Amino acid sequence: MTYTGHVEADGDWQERVDGGARIRKLSVGEMDNNVYVIACTQTGAALVIDAADRPDRIREAIADVEPVAVVQTHGHFDHVRAWEALTEDPGLEVWGHPGDADMFPQPLDRELGHGDVLEIGELRVEVLHVPGHTPGSLLYLVEGEERPHLVSGDTLFPGGAGNTFGNPDHFVQIMDGLEREVFDRLPDETWVYPGHGDDTTLGEERPKLGEWRERGW
């Protein structure tokens, strides 16, 4: 199947391989939360990104890999509903940013910060801290042979930055962070995997940055 970036809630997952990285995308639950499994093709070591919901479905998606941990993009309730179940079976640790600690259902097993590099088999996954949607919002960057792959959580979507709930200071914060850490640094072909809905690329979104600034959301 050709990877399109569109998955139906609780439907089949899609995946793609780019060099040593395999990216699997599935949507779980009534809020259409995307969960990603980033795996090293050489060793089978993997990360689950967001313990969103439907733990049984997530377990199916990691049955053929060796998950190291769950890493959270942020702490909103729809992204953490499978947390406790996955820590019990298959006994995964959960890593994330301490800025969202008051939202998490349990203490983090490992605190992540901007610039951290997670070695998952032969993959290197870089952690980007871009607050605004929440204080502890994280993005995860993997370099493939063909392009970079960026899991953006609820910080970047097709058509705009993540919701800052009408707070103008948080909107400036998220836009400044996206421009500095993402758009000023990464090429247009970078593939973006958001926390809900379909994928996009930085090249598709880059021309709209001024429009987003002007409209204020």
| Alpha-carbon torsion, ordered 177, 178, 183, 189, to 10 deg | 140
Tell how strand 138-143 and strand 123-129 pair up. antiparallel
Stated pTM of the model: 0.98
Amino acid found at 215: R
pLDDT band at 1 (very low <50, low <70, confident <90, very high): confident
Q: Are 117 and 127 in contact (CB under 8 A)?
A: yes
Q: How distant, in Å, are the alpha carbons of 20, 36, 181 from that of 150?
A: 15, 11, 12
The SS3 assignment for 126 reads: strand
Summarised one tens digit per residue, pLDDT across range 16-41 is 999 999 999 999 999 999 999 999 99
pLDDT band at 142 (very low <50, low <70, confident <90, very high): very high
For residue 73, the Cα-to-chain-centroid distance in whole angstroms is 5
pLDDT averaged over every residue in the chain: 98
Q: Is the pLDDT of residue 74 over 80?
A: yes
Amino acid found at 42: Q
Average pLDDT over residues 142-171: 98
Summarised one tens digit per residue, pLDDT across range 58-70 is 999 999 999 999 9
Nearest-angstrom CA–CA distance, 202 and 151: 12
Q: Is the pLDDT of residue 48 over 80?
A: yes
Count of CB atoms within 10 A of residue 99's CB?
A: 18
Write down all domains in the chain, each with its CATH number in brackets.
14-215 (3.60.15.10)
Average pLDDT over residues 104-133: 98
Q: What is the residue whose two structure tokens read 């969103």?
A: 52
Percent of residues, the chain, with pLDDT higher than 70:
100
Nearest-angstrom CA–CA distance, 187 and 54: 34
The SS3 assignment for 46 reads: strand
